[in-house]
């Protein structure tokens, strides 16, 4: 969808324009005029004389025009009538600045419904209500009351908080950071975050998309669209309002470990969205993406005129897991022939405290020429001899000559480096005034490059018995049973290609002994009751029973003790099961997130999972690569590979289990939570066993 009428309107009507300074209706009009808007400007106010020399119309109709964009500032209760006028004159797009809609409760929500209805019928698009407006510096369009028109640049910004946008504008103007578009999205009654992001994705003037969001509308759509956009343009988002409320009701291990944050993290990771924790961080990253080429690899060279900041940068590079570039011999020779003897020729290149601009120039030139260097970070402290201005000029000269690798600057100080910083920024070199933030920026850019070059996502589809699962799920839903018992949970898993341990239910000790004898010792006994979810909590699991006597004793003890602990539990018997020996226990799980759908979990299994929290999450459906990544991002992975002489397990078999589970929960929306715990995995070539499973379903 094009938002061209918003971004580049030939005519703009301002309904509620005012001649009274301080009123929003005045501020917006005067911002439009001050910005030098070149189209037709139509102030509308029934009571007003000409404002700022412009003729004022009593209503939209009397302008005799069909404005591309109408800005509405009148009180909320009048807005529906104005919207109708917009429809009548054939206006194309509307920004509703006015507050007092959905955000104030029921009455406002109804008003908002009315205006949406009018807009839909008339084919009008709306930004807002309850927003700050819209700014397009290149088109001299400041349809906002947020502040002065900022510089033209390549950052497209959308914000769900108008107030934050005023602060951002003020900060950007002070540091001359430029924007392609700034949009305050307000209540998102019609145009939402995704519309703006898609418009910015197609916008030639935008190289990077940044934003502040408190909520996301349609999670699935957001993820898939954002993923497409991220391939072309990096997306930098601040997501505020993290809440743990969603996690509290969960009954599964996965549910209690996941929470809303895990879903957002996974969604952002899938979509390649770079999450920012503050405006400053976002500016750091946005500057780098907007002005510099992407690096070919992770190798960083540092140039400095002071040891201390050089060490701090080196520390950060190590902590961030970036590579400290090993300079080539040619580079070192080049540096040796032109720098003083005391200079450090290795990385960080220390041009010494008395370095003038020339040393920086040749060091930067040499570093950019080095095939081992992918990014250069230039540090400068304003010492007695230092030339911040000439150094900045030299740096800009060098990158113009050699514009293929990203260069970042970290000029430390304030007044002494101010002029130099201005030259850097004008020349497109991001200046970040703390080395650890500069290094964090290099890391984020390198991660983005890696994300972009990841293989195409191909989700493997396994042949499964879908019909069988449908039957079980539907029967439970018909009977309004949310929790699927262990036997049928395992049938579901078997239908999707999982192996489960053999076993049957016994209701007497004799029967238990008979089943055990048939399975072969040792066996496991598990209490069998729809009312007992976590069996080991009530000593309802006995493992390693090696004889008929042990089985009988364990059976009788369970039947005697557990009813005393849980007098209301309906105990159906005891499951006698073959024992899976020798493998390692992991957990596979899924928790359906209300926004983003099935969130897969992998972690160390057994009862320790909630204590050690060594788990990883990812949104379904999983590719083989993503399943493998889930394993590798836990510490448990080291153990699974084998440590200290212990044999490793079949990693690919676990990854396949995750993919099969991902297919199951993708095909069955009704499955809300699922744990396979433990999932016992043996050495390469063996088949893992889903020893215990819990599945809960819900009507959707």
Identify residues 236-275 at the interface with a copy of itself (CB under 8 A): 238, 240-242
Rounded distance, CA 374 to CA 210, Å? Answer: 25
Rounded distance, CA 376 to CA 203, Å? Answer: 30
> Applying CB under 8 A, what is the total number of residues that bind a copy of itself?
77
435 neighbors 311 (Cβ within 8 angstroms): no
Q: Which stretch binds a copy of itself (CB under 8 A): 35-43, 83-91, 445-453, 635-643?
A: 635-643
Nearer to a copy of itself, 55 or 277 (CB): 277
Contacting a copy of itself within 669-698 (CB under 8 A): none
Within 10 Å of residue 567's Cβ, how many Cβ atoms?
A: 7
- CA-wise closest residue to 65 among 36, 30, 41, 94: 41
Rounded distance, CA 384 to CA 391, Å? Answer: 14
Contacting a copy of itself within 409-438 (CB under 8 A): 412-417, 433-437
Nearer to a copy of itself, 109 or 466 (CB): 109
Residue selected from 175, 221, 224, 228 as contacting a copy of itself according to rule CB under 8 A? 175
406 touches a copy of itself by CB under 8 A: no
Strands in 66-108 per DSSP E: 69-72, 93-96
- CA-wise closest residue to 266 among 626, 613, 644: 626
- CA-wise closest residue to 263 among 116, 254, 114, 310: 254
Contacting a copy of itself within 532-551 (CB under 8 A): 534, 536-539
We find the least distance from the C-beta atom of residue 272 to a copy of itself, in angstroms, to be: 23
- CA-wise closest residue to 376 among 459, 303, 294: 303
We find the least distance from the C-beta atom of residue 146 to a copy of itself, in angstroms, to be: 8
Q: Which stretch binds a copy of itself (CB under 8 A): 166-174, 356-364, 448-456, 515-523?
A: 166-174
441 touches a copy of itself by CB under 8 A: no
The tokens describing 558, both together, are: 């369970």
We find the least distance from the C-beta atom of residue 432 to a copy of itself, in angstroms, to be: 11
Q: Which residues of 52-86 are buried (b: 16+ CB within 10 A; e: fewer)?
A: eeeebbebbeebebebbbbbbbbebeebbebbebb
Residue selected from 5, 18, 93, 160 as contacting a copy of itself according to rule CB under 8 A? 160
Nearer to a copy of itself, 430 or 598 (CB): 430
Per-position x/- string for 469-508, each x denoting binding to a copy of itself as judged by CB under 8 A, each - no binding: ----------------------------------------
Nearer to a copy of itself, 278 or 404 (CB): 278
Phi-psi region of 224 (alpha: psi -120 to 50; beta: other; left: phi over 0): alpha
644 touches a copy of itself by CB under 8 A: yes
Q: Which stretch binds a copy of itself (CB under 8 A): 422-430, 522-530, 548-556, 610-618?
A: 610-618
We find the least distance from the C-beta atom of residue 82 to a copy of itself, in angstroms, to be: 21
Contacting a copy of itself within 9-68 (CB under 8 A): 22, 24, 27
Contacting a copy of itself within 272-331 (CB under 8 A): 277-280, 305-309, 311-312, 315, 318-319
Contacting a copy of itself within 328-347 (CB under 8 A): 342
Nearer to a copy of itself, 30 or 328 (CB): 30
132 Cβ partners below 8 Å, 6+ apart? 97, 144, 145, 146, 159, 162, 163, 165, 166, 184, 186
What is the distance of C-alpha 27 from the center of its chain?
Answer: 36
498 Cβ partners below 8 Å, 6+ apart? 490, 657, 660, 676, 688, 690
Residue selected from 120, 400, 454, 613 as contacting a copy of itself according to rule CB under 8 A? 613
131 touches a copy of itself by CB under 8 A: no
Nearer to a copy of itself, 118 or 169 (CB): 169
614 touches a copy of itself by CB under 8 A: yes
We find the least distance from the C-beta atom of residue 141 to a copy of itself, in angstroms, to be: 19
We find the least distance from the C-beta atom of residue 270 to a copy of itself, in angstroms, to be: 22
Residue selected from 62, 77, 635, 700 as contacting a copy of itself according to rule CB under 8 A? 635
Residue selected from 582, 638, 652, 687 as contacting a copy of itself according to rule CB under 8 A? 638
Q: How far is CA 379 from CA 316, 317, 346, 700, in A?
A: 13, 14, 15, 57
Rounded distance, CA 173 to CA 536, Å? Answer: 62
Within 10 Å of residue 660's Cβ, how many Cβ atoms?
A: 19
Q: Which stretch binds a copy of itself (CB under 8 A): 378-386, 493-501, 505-513, 684-692?
A: 378-386
Phi first, then psi: give them for residue 584, nearest 5 degrees. -105, 150
Nearer to a copy of itself, 150 or 497 (CB): 150
Per-position x/- string for 345-364, each x denoting binding to a copy of itself as judged by CB under 8 A, each - no binding: --------x-----------
610 touches a copy of itself by CB under 8 A: yes
Rounded distance, CA 377 to CA 323, Å? Answer: 13
Contacting a copy of itself within 187-226 (CB under 8 A): 212, 214
Helix-helix angle 329-338:357-369, to 10 degrees: 170
Rounded distance, CA 424 to CA 573, Å? Answer: 76
Residue selected from 78, 87, 104, 138 as contacting a copy of itself according to rule CB under 8 A? 104
* Look-up of token digits 């990841």: 454
381 touches a copy of itself by CB under 8 A: yes
């Amino acid at each position: 969808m094009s938002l061209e009428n918003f971004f580049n309107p030939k005519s703009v009507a301002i309904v509620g324009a005012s001649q009274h300074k301080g009123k929003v209706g005045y501020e917006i009009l005067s911002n439009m005029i001050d910005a030098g808007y070149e189209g037709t400007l139509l102030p509308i106010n029934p009571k007003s004389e000409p404002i700022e020399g412009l003729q004022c119309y009593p209503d939209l109709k009397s302008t005799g025009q069909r404005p591309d964009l109408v800005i509405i500032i009148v009180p909320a209760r009048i807005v529906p009538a104005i919207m109708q006028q917009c429809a009548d004159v054939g206006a194309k797009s509307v920004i509703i600045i006015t507050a007092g809609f959905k955000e104030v409760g029921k009455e406002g929500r109804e008003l908002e419904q009315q205006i949406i209805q009018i807009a839909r019928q008339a084919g009008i698009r709306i930004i807002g209500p309850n927003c700050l407006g819209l700014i397009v510096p290149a088109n001299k369009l400041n349809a906002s009351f947020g502040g002065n028109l900022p510089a033209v640049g390549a950052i497209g910004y959308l914000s769900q908080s108008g107030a934050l946008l005023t602060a951002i504008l003020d900060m950007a103007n002070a540091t001359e950071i430029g924007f392609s578009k700034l949009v305050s999205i307000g209540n998102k009654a019609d145009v939402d975050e995704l519309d703006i992001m898609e418009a910015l994705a197609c916008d030639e003037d935008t190289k990077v998309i940044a934003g502040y969001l408190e909520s996301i509308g349609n999670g699935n759509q957001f993820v898939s669209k954002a993923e497409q956009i991220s391939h072309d343009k990096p997306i930098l988002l601040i997501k505020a309002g993290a809440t743990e409320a969603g996690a509290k009701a969960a009954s599964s291990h996965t549910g209690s470990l996941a929470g809303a944050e895990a879903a957002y993290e996974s969604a952002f990771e899938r979509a390649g969205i770079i999450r920012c924790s503050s405006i400053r961080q976002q500016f750091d990253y946005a500057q780098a993406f907007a002005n510099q080429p992407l690096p070919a690899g992770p190798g960083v060279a540092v140039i400095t005129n002071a040891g201390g900041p050089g060490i701090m940068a080196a520390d950060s590079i190590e902590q961030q897991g970036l590579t400290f570039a090993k300079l080539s011999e040619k580079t070192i020779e080049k540096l040796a022939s032109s720098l003083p003897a005391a200079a450090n020729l290795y990385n960080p290149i220390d041009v010494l405290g008395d370095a003038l601009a020339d040393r920086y120039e040749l060091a930067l030139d040499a570093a950019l020429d080095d095939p081992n260097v992918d990014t250069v970070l230039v540090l400068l402290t304003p010492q007695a001899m230092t030339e911040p201005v000439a150094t900045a000029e030299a740096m800009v000269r060098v990158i113009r000559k050699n514009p293929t690798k990203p260069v970042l600057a970290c000029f430390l100080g304030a007044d002494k480096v101010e002029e130099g910083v201005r030259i850097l920024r004008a020349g497109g070199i991001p200046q970040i005034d703390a080395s650890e933030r500069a290094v964090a920026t290099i890391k984020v850019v390198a991660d983005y490059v890696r994300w972009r070059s990841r293989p195409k996502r191909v989700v493997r589809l396994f042949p499964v018995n879908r019909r069988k699962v449908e039957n079980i799920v539907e029967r439970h839903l018909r009977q309004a049973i949310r929790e699927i018992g262990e036997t049928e949970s395992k049938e579901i898993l078997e239908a999707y290609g999982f192996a489960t341990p053999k076993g049957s239910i016994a209701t007497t000790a004799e029967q238990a002994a008979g089943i055990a004898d048939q399975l072969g010792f040792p066996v496991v006994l598990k209490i069998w009751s729809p009312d007992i979810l976590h069996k080991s909590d009530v000593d309802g699991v006995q493992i390693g029973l090696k004889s008929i006597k042990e089985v009988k004793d364990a059976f009788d003890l369970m039947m005697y003790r557990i009813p005393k602990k849980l007098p209301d539990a309906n105990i159906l018997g005891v499951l006698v099961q073959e024992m899976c020996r020798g493998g390692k226990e992991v957990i596979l799980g899924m928790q359906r997130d209300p926004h983003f759908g099935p969130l897969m979990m992998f972690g160390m299994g057994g009862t320790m999972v909630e204590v050690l929290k060594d788990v990883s999450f990812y949104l379904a459906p999983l590719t083989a690569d993503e399943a493998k990544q889930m394993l590798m991002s836990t510490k448990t992975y080291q153990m699974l590979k084998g440590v200290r002489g212990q044999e490793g397990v079949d990693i690919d078999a676990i990854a396949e289990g995750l993919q099969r589970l991902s297919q199951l929960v993708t095909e069955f929306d009704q499955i809300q939570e699922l744990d396979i715990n433990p999932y016992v995995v043996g050495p390469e070539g063996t088949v893992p066993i889903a020893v215990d499973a819990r599945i809960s379903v819900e009507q959707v």
